[in-house]
């Protein structure tokens, strides 16, 4: 392998100018965020198809394929900013599903250093814009450096950079942010690996691992497809070294061929452990089942003819289907990639393998089955078109190498006219690629929208009614909203209320939400609340991200008090639903607001967020616990349901014949981002039951002494309390976070320690 050094000083200046041009192109696309203070977001459009904001049209329309940014990523960012303002990190999301883990949801990115830094400095909309701008620039700059590392000249490297940073797949999914981390991690990791083997440097192998590990903090999607690609490239280079050792018996090649891939793998997993360990533990208990392979290839593959658009972008209107078929990276890039496939340049084999492999995986072939069967986590990956970023990367890489091959041939002929002609072709290819991709990127996304509170989930009359009502609640209550939907029967889909995870954006707790990874029991309990039979919810698996709907016709209203729901938020025309008969419900409601943006009803009486019970009902299985909790006759204010493992933790339970009256609710002292504090008054020893979801990460102290947080009533929390007045403090820390932090910290400390050790040894030898 070549060990040639980087270009001369003049060559480096050209590199700086090329990277500066990449930066100017990125600024050119995102210039409205500075010029007219607009945001690259879909919130303004999406809020027009959701109450309460649908009652106040703002001139924008929803861009459905990118609406996850408005449903999830923007509310998550508001949650991150709010937590940091309070001096902590948001490990727990109390705004969704009566509570759910946040840092381990696979996509929030709250620990990703660039996002964390931006979140401490600017508002959520600015975090989104600056995060994307910086990562688009970095993706182009790093792709340029990768091509230079592979030996390509300036113009070929610049063409690949432009094609990659503005690829249709990247910009089709850019609103969802995870693709931005992928766009940076892939070229950076590959460049480090190639440089490691070229220079026989384990430090660059470590660098590849650090890049991959840190980028994985943003999204598990990085670990799913980028890790195997980069680490596979390291393994392939190592195998080449082993073959070379077999022929030459050079021990250096043998040692490095074995060591470098292992170092890259160890650094990757060690750095990623901070997020990977708790997320993996969380995913193991998630309520998201893998889709059967037959369904994946039947319903989520990419049509083979979609790859014809690699030469010219599709003229179809933006749709969910189109987003999963985006393969365009510029006409010139695609044509030059054909030359790149037959060139014998460093990196061409990588490009060919990625292009062919991605094609075979996404169209549904035996290679798809191999990926489904052997790539960890791939059984949850769908639609398969989300993997097309690897195709875009491969074509951009091959396009740059293809042009460089032409340039090389022209230089060999020693014809100044030929060299100038090829250079002109390269400049034209770069310019046309930039124009094509930037204009297509604008076409794929909603227009830039005003960065104004009125366009970012503002306070409407209904939201203000929720806030006003909050002031009149008892200290025992924590307001939790159920967003109800009208059942339109055969009529088309209509506007929902507080859809997805938007409740976090307006600081309102919801029993709904939108998450990729949700604990299995939380999903099951929510499905029962939404109207499913307990056995059906347990037996029929849930696929995909979880975003429940509560219809007026089937929602289990009798379970609302048991889950701490205090408020129902319904669309303004809910009275037209034939199933909506408040007088016939098993609960009593008081309407506190009615307007064009919805109707709000309070459950009458106190719906405590925490309360004391003195009787235990033991059940043998989780199924029995769910059936009993969902039983309409279950007296949740007097009895707590415990399964065998939890009953063992309970130590000495009160007898069933003890005090049986309903106690006063626990008084809420403070509800923090990851903590809760209560004061309770119990006539006898008992349990404080909290109407929030349980997770292994919860810890409790009663009057300063640590105690267990029991999983009660199938999936709620319970804490043993003594007679008299007690203060109960709960704190949440993701299960596995400490172990992951220890591994990551050790990894990050070992790198400089080893470097210093080697430097000292070199000085001693000299």
Give the model confidence (pLDDT) of 666-717 as tens digits.
888 889 999 999 999 998 999 999 999 999 999 999 999 999 999 999 999 9
pLDDT band for position 94 (cuts 50, 70, 90):
very high
Radius of gyration of the chain (CA): 29
CA dihedral (458, 459, 462, 466) positive or negative: positive
* Beta carbons of 250 and 221 less than 8 angstroms apart: no
CA dist 419 to 172, 406, 416, 429, Å?
Answer: 36, 9, 5, 15
Query: For residue 707, what are the β-bridge partners?
Result: 700
Query: How big is the CA angle at 86 (ends 739 and 174), to the nearest 5 degrees?
Result: 75
* Beta carbons of 143 and 187 less than 8 angstroms apart: yes
Tell me the HSE value of 739 on the side-chain side, using a 13 A CA sphere.
11
User: Residue 38 and residue 43: Cα distance in Å, rounded?
Assistant: 12
More confident residue, 431 or 762: 431
pLDDT at residue 72, as a whole number: 94
User: Residue 207 and residue 190: Cα distance in Å, rounded?
Assistant: 10
Query: How big is the CA angle at 744 (ends 738 and 746), to the nearest 5 degrees?
Result: 100
User: Residue 642 and residue 395: Cα distance in Å, rounded?
Assistant: 57
pLDDT by residue (tens digit) across 101-140?
A: 998 888 888 899 999 999 999 999 999 999 999 999 999 9
pLDDT by residue (tens digit) across 165-214?
A: 999 999 999 999 999 999 999 999 999 999 999 999 999 999 999 999 99
- Looking up tokens 């179809």, which residue turns up? 316
The pLDDT of 390-399, averaged and rounded, is: 97
User: Would you tell me the crossing angle of helices 388-412 and 124-149 to the nearest 10 degrees?
Assistant: 40
CA dist 101 to 137, 438, 524, 737, Å?
Answer: 32, 37, 16, 12
Whether residue 93 has pLDDT greater than 70: yes
User: Residue 592 and residue 614: Cα distance in Å, rounded?
Assistant: 34
Maximum separation of any 2 CA atoms in the chain, in Å: 101
pLDDT at residue 658, as a whole number: 54
The pLDDT of 644-663, averaged and rounded, is: 69
* Beta carbons of 125 and 456 less than 8 angstroms apart: yes
* Beta carbons of 377 and 220 less than 8 angstroms apart: yes
Contacts of 760 (CB under 8 A, 6+ apart): none
The pLDDT of 32-43, averaged and rounded, is: 94
pLDDT at residue 765, as a whole number: 52
* Beta carbons of 288 and 517 less than 8 angstroms apart: yes
**What is the DSSP annotation of 703-716?**
TTEEE--EEETTTE
The pLDDT of 37-57, averaged and rounded, is: 94
**What is the DSSP annotation of 522-579?**
HHHHHHHHTT--HHHHHHSPP-SSB---EETTT--GGGTGGGT--EEEE-TTGGGSTT
Coil/strand/helix, residue 679: strand
pLDDT band for position 2 (cuts 50, 70, 90):
very low
The pLDDT of 58-80, averaged and rounded, is: 91
Query: For residue 641, what are the β-bridge partners?
Result: 617
pLDDT by residue (tens digit) across 219-260?
A: 887 888 899 999 999 999 999 888 887 777 778 788 888 999
My answer on whether omega of the bond before 542 falls inside 30° of 0, hence cis, is no
pLDDT at residue 107, as a whole number: 84
Q: Name the helix (H) or strand (E) containing 669.
A: strand 667-671
The overall average pLDDT reported for the chain is: 90
> In the chain, what percentage of residues exceed pLDDT 70?
93
User: Residue 279 and residue 544: Cα distance in Å, rounded?
Assistant: 16
pLDDT at residue 243, as a whole number: 86
Coil/strand/helix, residue 618: strand
Whether residue 764 has pLDDT greater than 60: no
User: Which two tokens mark 478?
Assistant: 């924590």
The pLDDT of 457-479, averaged and rounded, is: 78
Coil/strand/helix, residue 692: strand
pLDDT at residue 294, as a whole number: 86
Whether residue 572 has pLDDT greater than 90: yes
Whether residue 467 has pLDDT greater than 70: yes
The pLDDT of 21-45, averaged and rounded, is: 95
User: Residue 192 and residue 145: Cα distance in Å, rounded?
Assistant: 10
The pLDDT of 466-477, averaged and rounded, is: 67
pLDDT at residue 489, as a whole number: 60
Whether residue 97 has pLDDT greater than 70: yes
pLDDT by residue (tens digit) across 576-607?
A: 888 899 888 999 999 999 999 999 999 988 77
The pLDDT of 318-326, averaged and rounded, is: 89
* Beta carbons of 245 and 253 less than 8 angstroms apart: yes
Q: Is 288 left (phi over 0), alpha (psi -120 to 50) or beta?
A: beta
């Amino acid at each position: 392998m070549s060990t040639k050094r980087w270009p001369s000083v003049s060559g480096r200046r050209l590199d700086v100018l090329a990277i500066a041009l990449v930066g100017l192109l990125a600024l050119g696309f995102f210039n409205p965020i500075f010029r007219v203070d607009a945001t690259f977001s879909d919130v303004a459009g999406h809020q027009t198809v959701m109450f309460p904001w649908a009652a106040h049209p703002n001139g924008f329309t929803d861009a459905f394929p990118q609406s996850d940014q408005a449903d999830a990523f923007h509310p998550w960012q508001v949650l991150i900013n709010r937590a940091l303002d309070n001096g902590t990190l948001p490990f727990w999301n109390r705004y969704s599903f009566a509570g759910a883990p946040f840092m381990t949801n696979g996509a929030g990115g709250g620990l990703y250093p660039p996002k964390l830094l931006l979140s401490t400095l600017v508002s959520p909309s600015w975090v989104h814009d600056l995060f994307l701008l910086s990562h688009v620039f970095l993706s182009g700059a790093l792709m340029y450096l990768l091509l230079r590392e592979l030996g390509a000249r300036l113009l070929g490297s610049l063409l690949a950079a432009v094609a990659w940073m503005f690829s249709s797949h990247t910009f089709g999914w850019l609103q969802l942010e995870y693709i931005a981390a992928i766009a940076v991690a892939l070229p950076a990791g590959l460049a480090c690996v190639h440089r490691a083997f070229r220079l026989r440097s384990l430090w660059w192998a470590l660098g590849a691992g650090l890049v991959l590990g840190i980028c994985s903090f943003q999204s598990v999607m990085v670990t799913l497809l980028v890790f195997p690609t980069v680490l596979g490239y390291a393994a392939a280079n190592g195998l080449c070294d082993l073959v070379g050792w077999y022929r030459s018996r050079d021990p250096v090649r043998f040692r490095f061929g074995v060591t470098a891939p292992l170092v890259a793998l160890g650094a990757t997993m060690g750095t990623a452990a901070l997020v990977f360990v708790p997320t993996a533990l969380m995913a193991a208990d998630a309520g998201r089942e893998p889709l059967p392979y037959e369904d994946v290839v039947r319903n989520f593959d990419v049509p083979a003819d979609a790859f014809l658009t690699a030469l010219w972008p599709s003229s179809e209107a933006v749709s969910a289907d189109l987003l999963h078929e985006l393969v365009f990276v510029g006409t010139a890039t695609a044509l030059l990639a054909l030359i790149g496939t037959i060139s014998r340049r460093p990196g061409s084999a990588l490009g060919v393998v990625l292009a062919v492999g991605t094609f075979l995986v996404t169209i549904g072939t035996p290679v798809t089955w191999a990926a489904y069967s052997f790539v960890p986590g791939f059984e949850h990956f769908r639609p398969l078109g989300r993997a097309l970023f690897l195709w875009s990367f491969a074509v951009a890489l091959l396009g740059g190498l293809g042009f460089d091959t032409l340039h090389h041939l022209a230089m060999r002929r020693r014809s100044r006219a030929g060299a100038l002609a090829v250079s002109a072709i390269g400049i034209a290819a770069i310019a046309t690629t930039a124009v094509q991709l930037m204009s297509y990127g604008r076409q794929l996304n909603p227009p830039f929208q005003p960065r104004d509170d009125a366009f970012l989930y503002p306070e409407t009359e209904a939201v203000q009614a929720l806030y006003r009502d909050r002031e009149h609640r008892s200290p025992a209550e924590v307001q939790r909203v159920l967003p109800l939907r009208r059942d339109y029967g055969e009529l088309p889909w209509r506007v929902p209320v507080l859809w997805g995870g938007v409740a976090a954006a307006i600081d309102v707790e919801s029993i709904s939400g939108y998450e990729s990874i949700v604990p299995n029991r939380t999903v099951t309990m929510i499905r029962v609340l939404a109207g499913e039979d307990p056995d059906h919810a347990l037996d029929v698996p849930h696929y995909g991200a979880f975003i429940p709907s509560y219809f007026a016709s089937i929602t289990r209203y009798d379970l609302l008090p048991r889950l701490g729901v205090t408020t129902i938020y319904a669309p303004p025309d809910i009275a037209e639903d034939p199933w909506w008969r408040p007088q016939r419900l098993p609960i009593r409601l008081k309407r506190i607001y009615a307007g064009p943006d919805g109707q709000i009803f309070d459950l009458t009486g106190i719906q405590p967020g925490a309360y004391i019970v003195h009787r235990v009902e033991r059940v043998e299985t989780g199924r029995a616990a769910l059936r009993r909790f969902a039983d309409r006759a279950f007296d949740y204010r007097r009895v707590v349901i415990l399964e065998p493992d939890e009953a063992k933790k309970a130590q000495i339970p009160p007898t069933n014949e003890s005090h049986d009256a309903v106690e006063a609710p626990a008084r809420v002292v403070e509800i923090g981002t990851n903590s809760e504090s209560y004061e309770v008054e119990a006539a006898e020893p008992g349990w404080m039951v909290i109407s929030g979801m349980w997770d292994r990460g919860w810890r409790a102290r009663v009057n300063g002494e640590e105690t267990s947080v029991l999983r009660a009533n199938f999936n709620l929390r319970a804490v043993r309390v003594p007679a008299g007045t007690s203060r109960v403090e709960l704190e949440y820390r993701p299960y596995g976070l400490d172990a992951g932090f220890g591994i990551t910290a050790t990894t990050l400390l070992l790198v400089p320690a080893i470097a210093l050790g080697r430097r000292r040894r070199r000085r001693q030898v000299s």
